[in-house]
Amino acid sequence: MHVIKQHGQYRSGTNYLKALLERNFDALVLSNGLGHKHHPPADWRRWCEINEPGPAIVEAVHENRVLSTISIKDPLGLLHSWIKYKGLAWHVKRSRLNQEVDDWIDVTNGLYAAWREFAIAREWRAVVIRYEDLIAGPRKLLASLAGEWQLPCKCDPLEDIPTRVEKGDRQTARKHDRAFWRLRRYLKKVPEWAQQRVAEQLDWEIFEPLGYSPDPAVDPYRSPADA
């Protein structure tokens, strides 16, 4: 069995991607095994020594066979999702949101810088998964992964996307609103001051090559090659 390790910022589509990978590949998909998926990459050998996972994981690590995904999303969409995840709203006092937005930008810059370095080192074993590609063309995405990793794939796109909404100790499930993201309705939610702050402070050397732009008018659903 193959081992796939996930990485990605909060609300970047890691839960749906995990379901998609598990359905379509004969693989053990790790969210928090080999380190937390929302944290910088861990030392996998050291992690195995401390946590003593099953032999499949240990062997994949020692034989350098672990595959990896790094989930990413339009930064303004990520930020909007994060504010909701934190139980906040854009009408909350700006004095509170200022720090929340600044902290989110700092963390996001640091995480994706670490994951970019990790992806370069892992070469073909690590693949960046854009949320926009994940929901717009999951079958095409699966075929691309199968080709990159040379693995057999069922290419079943999971038409109904489950999403989990955490509220304290409770979790509720609801159908994913693809139109909200595909039509970028979140842009109407994020206030202009927050959009400007993201444009000024985010590390665009990381995000622009992946098809994102500090200009909100640029549609991330275009292929990065067309940008």
**What is the pLDDT confidence band of residue 177, given thresholds at 50, 70 and 90?**
confident
Q: What is the CA angle 8-134-22, rounded to 5?
A: 75
Q: What's the Rg (C-alpha) of the chain?
A: 18
- Tell me which residue of 48, 55, 54, 65 sits closest to 4, measured CA to CA: 65
Task: Please indicate, yes or no, if residue 225 is contained in any of the structural domains.
Answer: no
**What is the pLDDT confidence band of residue 227, given thresholds at 50, 70 and 90?**
very low
Would you say residue 114 has pLDDT above 90?
yes
- Residue 156 has a pLDDT of 79
Tally the domains of the chain.
1
Flag whether the pTM goes above 0.85. Answer: yes
Tens of pLDDT along 40-72?
A: 999 999 999 999 999 999 999 999 999 999 999
DSSP-assigned beta bridge partners for residue 110: none
Distances (CA, A) of 158 to 40, 87, 210, 214: 29, 29, 24, 32
Task: Please indicate, yes or no, if residue 194 is contained in any of the structural domains.
Answer: yes
Cross-sheet strand order for the sheet of 27-30: 27-30, 2-8, 67-72, 126-130
Task: Please indicate, yes or no, if residue 223 is contained in any of the structural domains.
Answer: no
Would you say residue 172 has pLDDT above 60?
no
Tens of pLDDT along 123-142?
A: 999 999 999 999 888 999 99
Q: How far apart are CA 160 and CA 163, in angstroms?
A: 10
Task: Please indicate, yes or no, if residue 195 is contained in any of the structural domains.
Answer: yes
Residue 97 is part of a domain; what is its CATH number?
3.40.50
Query: If you ran DSSP here, which 8-state letter would residue 68 be given?
Result: E
Q: How far apart are CA 112 and CA 129, in angstroms?
A: 13
Mean pLDDT of 140-160: 87
Task: Please indicate, yes or no, if residue 89 is contained in any of the structural domains.
Answer: yes
Task: Please indicate, yes or no, if residue 220 is contained in any of the structural domains.
Answer: no
Task: Please indicate, yes or no, if residue 7 is contained in any of the structural domains.
Answer: yes
Q: How far apart are CA 200 and CA 80, in angstroms?
A: 17
Tokens at 165, concatenated: 């909404």
Task: Please indicate, yes or no, if residue 224 is contained in any of the structural domains.
Answer: no
Domain with 197, as residue range(s), is: 2-211
